[in-house]
Amino acid sequence: MTPTARDYSLVGRDSELAEQNGLVAADWYSVDIDRKEIKRLMRRSDSPAIRDTLIWLGLLLVSGAGGAYFWGTWWCVPFFLVYGVLYGSSSDSRWHESGHGTAFKTRWMNSALYYFSSFLILREPTIWLWSHTRHHTDTIIVGRDPEIATPRPPDIKAMLLNIFALVSTWKTIKALFLHAGGKLTPNEATFVPESERSKVYWIARLYIAILLGVVLVCIATGSILPAMLVGLPSLYGGFMAIYFGLTQHSGLAEDVLDHRLNSRTVYMNPIFRFLYWNMNYHIEHHMFPMVPFHALPQLHEAIKHDCPEPYPSSIAAYREIIPTLLRQLKEPGFFVRRTLPNGAEPVPHNPGAVFQTSS
């Protein structure tokens, strides 16, 4: 069969194919785990996230103040490097974990962190809450999942530009103006319920007002320093979010109902795990999304016997990802087939993933 291009929109041919192939809101493989054990792991706590958030905010404050103090000299560069990564990359994992409501036990703390970190990473909170909900329902199901970072064939130019969040920010700016005008894109309309849409429009107006305010302060002071502290860090500091994020699913199978085949668990060092809030345990997170970030290493130990071998480092993951994406440029049907442990039963690969058309 000759592979044909896939349709990654949520309103196109592959969306219909996903329905026909039984991939929509389907039953996913889950490792058997004792109920008492998973209950223990799911248990919420405020203290790990309060500790990490205080460290995170403290470092943001110190590095931002250092950058501002040394502004105009080369000494500001390391400060803004740290500030940018904490602002534009680490906000991704804070947005993610608080969006799941698992970061803190106390609900309002999750909400506060969610809205704050959404702004830092320049994501509209309501749109992305619903987008991420769909990502968990239909993970890497073509035509259903709005968060497929590397469609096949991959757009390498956009990926490179996104090292500094250029493409994603441009899309966000266009979306903000669309939403501020009271409209959604056709894709968004498939996953944002009517009852949530007015919130989308008002938050878009608020974002625009804040960003315009920063521009006005820059003009008034004749300096881009205000934008270096609010707004621009989403771009110049976004590279670690991409570095972490691409390890999650890139190059792996599409249209399989088994997170062990379409997600990666990658061992990372403690600094990366602080910045990324343990999302390197990504198979574990997708299989049991109620388990908070601080319990993911324990969950990993509990289910690893039934999962593919974890990647020993992010470098090891990229040794697989980069050649795979380059090969997919010419051979979009190619993907990495993860090897399950001996005796583990794989979920049958769905025909939707071999580029069949409906005809």
Residues of the shown chain interacting with another protein in the complex, contacts defined by CB under 8 A = 25, 35-36, 39, 42-44, 100-102, 105, 126, 129-130, 133, 136-137, 193, 195-196, 288-290
Taking Cα atoms as reference points, which of 223, 313, 307 lies closest to residue 267?
313
Distances (CA, A) of 232 to 89, 141, 169, 208: 12, 33, 10, 14
How far apart are CB 351 and another protein at their closest, in Å?
24
Type of residue found at 233: P
The structure tokens listed for 63 are 């590095």
How far apart are CB 279 and another protein at their closest, in Å?
15
Around Cβ 49, how many Cβ atoms within 10 Å? Answer: 26
92, containing H or E segment = helix 90-99
How far apart are CB 100 and another protein at their closest, in Å?
5
Rounded distance between C-alpha atoms, residue 208 and residue 228, angstroms: 17
Segments of 56-165 assigned E as strands: none
* 36 versus 330: smaller Cβ distance to another protein: 36
* 137 versus 356: smaller Cβ distance to another protein: 137
DSSP 352: G
Taking Cα atoms as reference points, which of 108, 110, 86, 107 lies closest to residue 97?
110
How far apart are CB 298 and another protein at their closest, in Å?
16
* 117 versus 247: smaller Cβ distance to another protein: 117
DSSP 87: H
How far apart are CB 129 and another protein at their closest, in Å?
6
Taking Cα atoms as reference points, which of 304, 307, 316, 301 lies closest to residue 266?
316
- Upstream peptide bond of 153 is cis (omega within 30 degrees of 0): yes
* 122 versus 129: smaller Cβ distance to another protein: 129
How far apart are CB 54 and another protein at their closest, in Å?
24
How far apart are CB 76 and another protein at their closest, in Å?
40
Taking Cα atoms as reference points, which of 266, 241, 240, 239 lies closest to residue 252?
266
